Chains A and B, each alone.
Chain A
Amino acid sequence: MRRVLAILIGLVLVAGQAGPVGATHEIVIGLQCDRTGATQTVGVNLCPGYHDYIKLVNSKGGVEGHKIKAIEIDHEYKVPQGMESYERHKKEGAVIIGVYGTPHIYALAQKLTEDRIPGTSPGFGSAAAADGQRYPYIFPIAATYWSQGAAAVKFAKDQLGGNLKGKKIAYLFFDNPAGREPIGVLEDIAELEGFQLRTFAVPPPGVEMGAQVLDIAQRYRADWVITHLFGRSPSVSIKELKRVGFPLRKVVGMVWGAAEADVEAAGGWSVAEGYNAMQFAGVGSDYPVLNEIRAMYKKEGQEPPKQMSSTVYYNRGVLIAALHVEAIRNAVKDKKSGNITGEDAKKGFEKISNFTLGGLVPPLKITPTDHEGGGVVQIFSVKGGKFVKATEWFSAYSDIVAKHIKEAKK
């Protein structure tokens, strides 16, 4: 065993040193990815988007002359691999970690704070992490599940004529901690607005929900359905709701059930016509930054990557990269040498405001107390074979969400 171990460690050492020695002013970001694990449909499109934006920034000379290097590590959505990738990023001197995965952000919460490296968890992770005082080094930088749940109700209210009194809303969710997280917020809003709320759990792996959907459509007779599902299950929910004849225009899916891939897996755009999808990044290919990326590839004489056509996840990758770079830009403004630390990057995040990238990024305002940035989302509806914008950026019931964040502190 010892010999094998010695050989393996030797190999690791050799491999570790074989990499190019970084220039002194290179700013390193660690990116966790999942291109092969449970949520690989996300990773295969999100991560290329991330790298393309970094490439774009570097092709324009970097941030104030400092190049950015993003080191991607695929952790297959497994926690031990995620821990290993974090330590590796730390060794490489990363000033920001793009964490990926709810169990991973939980597992890294203490380490990030201890090592003073900001980690981002856009659209997943603990909603309580929006509290920048309690979790100084965790940045959701996008609407948490609490804000998403609140926004879903607001959207339902607007669509149902501005009054929810006496209406019935069904909440169809994946039965894991992430799926259950918004329930408390939804219950509070139900009390405030006077609607009836019933929850329908889908047990993992979430591909069997015929009974729940039938219940929603025919016994409970819901006026509106909010779905919060992951992986393969959003497409199943669209298919099943369609099958029992529930109008999809009265369904809103939260951010991980909102991609082109989900619609296609549900049987195509014509099947999903009307379905509403919640987004924390702009959808579609009509944004200036995407044109710049296409121009960059054209200048190199290459085709733009095919992942760009999966705009939901690709654009989220661009959004995450853009916010990371913006934090670094803010940090470098104070430290022209470019020799920034995790602490500087943290302060850089907390200065982000009015950074919209031509509409792809919501109007976030991240402060030392609010690491979520306001919890803004946009709803896109399936119309005629593509996602069409149904609302502008909005957030809702901020006081109720704030109350929950405060209570989580205890």
Chain B
Amino acid sequence: MALYPLPIAKWAVAGVALVFFVVLPMVLHEYYLSIINLVSIACIGALGLNILVGYTGQISVGHGAFMSVGAYTAANFAVRLDAPWPVNMLAGGLMAAIVGAIVGIPSLRIKGLYLAIATLAGQLIIEWTINHVTFISGGVQASIEVPPPELFGYRLASQTQMYFFLLAFVVVAVVGTMNLVRSRIGRAFVAIRDQDIAAEIIGINIFRYKLLAFAISSFYAGVTGVLYTYYLGVANYEQFQINVSIDYLAMIIIGGLGSVLGSIFGAIFVTLLPIVIRLSMESFGGYLFSDAAVRNIIPNMRLILFGGLIITFLIVEPEGLNRLWRNIRSYFRVWPFAY
């Protein structure tokens, strides 16, 4: 399958790149860039999880922990060895990949819900280990401060600088995933997802590819953890607990399993929705309620609306936002001559 099925796609990609690399940083306040930064980090994590869950059909409830593995590996490299960030990032990603592959071993025997529980155990064991082994966590507080990344002698500390830094990784992750899924490896993943016995019969080494899926997916998670660490300036295990794993699963389910664009949609949706709901409630809530009531209502309404919208979207389109987007696109492709 070609990367650009239609000629217009090339222009669209160029346009989008222009918007994100030139226009947005020029017109947006740093605050909005900081929101995009959070989305960027979530995008990479969601892409990684989608390779495992969406493409290979294995489930993982341990991605939060894999992120923490990456984060602490990089933080230890940065503080103890004084290594530059590319080294830390690679080390964090690889360490997460190794740990992910180990946690993925049960996937060779068990599937579905049972595998979910096995990876959940992985999450809890990793959390416990980081929490208690001070060699990894750097002390009782289990947090390691990391200096900001440097590029050609410049410290990347402000949100605008971070924006470009993170965006570059999003581009690499998106292009990498798109190419991965149309390669031999990606096709093997899809074959395993659709019917693993059949896949084995046509000569796919299930053992190898299942573990590879876990490793690649965890590599993405590890890099996400490292990026998050550099974004905050600190590695802290409380930022990678079980609810993070669940959030990322929610992203790819809402966005669309087994699609690159879906992962991005999901990351945007889950990260932005609470913020958008709050900002709009702040603007309009004052007309209906008193100040003190608004303050109490906003956070609760946000949870209700967030849950409600997720259910609505899933009922309207169970295959996720990506399918919704494709429907819109194919409608306009033949517009105004609908059949």
A385 contacts B by Cβ under 8 Å: no
Looking at B103-111, B137-145, B205-213, the stretch in contact with chain A turns out to be B137-145
Contacts of A74 in B (CB 8 A): 278, 298-299, 302
Q: How far is the CA of A47 from the CA of B283 in the complex (A)?
A: 20
Q: How far is the CA of A74 from the CA of B272 in the complex (A)?
A: 15
Nearest Cβ on chain B to A195's Cβ, whole angstroms:
21
Q: How far is the CA of A11 from the CA of B145 in the complex (A)?
A: 36
A215 contacts B by Cβ under 8 Å: no
B88 contacts A by Cβ under 8 Å: no
**Do B299 and A33 touch (CB < 8 A)?**
yes
Q: Mark A78-120, 1 if CB is under 8 A from B, else 0.
A: 1111011001101100000000001100110111001000000
Contacts of A109 in B (CB 8 A): 145, 233-234
A180 contacts B by Cβ under 8 Å: yes
Q: How far is the CA of A114 from the CA of B29 in the complex (A)?
A: 18
Contacts of A88 in B (CB 8 A): 31
- Closest residue of chain A to B146, judged by CB? A110
**Number of CB contacts from chain A to chain B under 8 A:** 136
Residue in B30, B231, B278, B325 whose CB lies within 8 Å of A91: B30
Q: How far is the CA of A144 from the CA of B244 in the complex (A)?
A: 28
A337 contacts B by Cβ under 8 Å: no
Contacts of A5 in B (CB 8 A): 268
Nearest Cβ on chain B to A344's Cβ, whole angstroms:
22
- Closest residue of chain B to A111, judged by CB? B233
Residue in A2, A72, A79 whose CB lies within 8 Å of B295: A72
**Do A177 and B143 touch (CB < 8 A)?**
yes
Looking at B32-40, B49-57, B78-86, B192-200, the stretch in contact with chain A turns out to be B32-40
Residue in B16, B34, B243, B268 whose CB lies within 8 Å of A4: B268
B183 contacts A by Cβ under 8 Å: no
**Do B32 and A35 touch (CB < 8 A)?**
no
Q: How far is the CA of A51 from the CA of B291 in the complex (A)?
A: 10
Residue in B31, B233, B274 whose CB lies within 8 Å of A87: B31
A375 contacts B by Cβ under 8 Å: no
Residue in B28, B148, B238, B296 whose CB lies within 8 Å of A102: B238
- Closest residue of chain B to A113, judged by CB? B233
A245 contacts B by Cβ under 8 Å: no
Give the A interface residue count (CB, 8 A). Answer: 52
Contact flag A15-B280 (CB < 8 Å), given A2-B19, A79-B239, A177-B142: yes
Contacts of B180 in A (CB 8 A): none
**Do A35 and B299 touch (CB < 8 A)?**
yes
A192 contacts B by Cβ under 8 Å: no
Q: How far is the CA of A346 from the CA of B272 in the complex (A)?
A: 32
Q: How far is the CA of A247 from the CA of B239 in the complex (A)?
A: 38
Contacts of A106 in B (CB 8 A): 141, 143, 232, 234, 236, 238
B265 contacts A by Cβ under 8 Å: yes
B282 contacts A by Cβ under 8 Å: yes
Nearest Cβ on chain B to A120's Cβ, whole angstroms:
18
Nearest Cβ on chain A to B68's Cβ, whole angstroms:
12
Nearest Cβ on chain A to B259's Cβ, whole angstroms:
11
Contact flag A1-B265 (CB < 8 Å), given A19-B282, A107-B236: yes
Q: Mark A268-281, 1 if CB is under 8 A from B, else 0.
A: 00000000000000
**Do B279 and A16 touch (CB < 8 A)?**
yes
Q: How far is the CA of A120 from the CA of B204 in the complex (A)?
A: 57
- Closest residue of chain B to A78, judged by CB? B243
Nearest Cβ on chain A to B227's Cβ, whole angstroms:
12
Contacts of B34 in A (CB 8 A): 83-84, 87
Nearest Cβ on chain B to A129's Cβ, whole angstroms:
10
**Do A15 and B276 touch (CB < 8 A)?**
yes
**Do B38 and A91 touch (CB < 8 A)?**
no
**Do B300 and A8 touch (CB < 8 A)?**
no
**Do A36 and B292 touch (CB < 8 A)?**
no
A338 contacts B by Cβ under 8 Å: no
Nearest Cβ on chain A to B127's Cβ, whole angstroms:
9
Q: Mark B108-133, 1 if CB is under 8 A from A, else 0.
A: 00000000000000000000000100
Contacts of B157 in A (CB 8 A): 114
Residue in B29, B243, B261, B291 whose CB lies within 8 Å of A1: B261
Contacts of B300 in A (CB 8 A): 35-36
B188 contacts A by Cβ under 8 Å: no
Nearest Cβ on chain B to A177's Cβ, whole angstroms:
4
Contacts of A103 in B (CB 8 A): 236, 238-239
Nearest Cβ on chain A to B280's Cβ, whole angstroms:
5
Q: Give me 14 A-to-B residue pairs in the complex whose CB atoms sit less than 8 angstroms apart, sorted by A's number.
A: A1-B261, A11-B276, A13-B32, A15-B279, A19-B283, A47-B295, A74-B278, A74-B298, A74-B299, A79-B239, A106-B234, A107-B239, A109-B233, A126-B143
The 10 tightest CB contacts between A and B, nearest first, are A110-B233, A74-B299, A15-B279, A87-B34, A103-B238, A91-B31, A18-B283, A36-B299, A107-B232, A177-B142
Give B contacts to A, CB under 8 Å.
16, 19, 28-32, 34-35, 38, 42, 131, 140-143, 145, 148, 157, 159, 231-234, 236-239, 243, 261, 264-265, 268, 271-272, 274-276, 278-280, 282-284, 291-292, 295-296, 298-300, 302-303, 321, 325
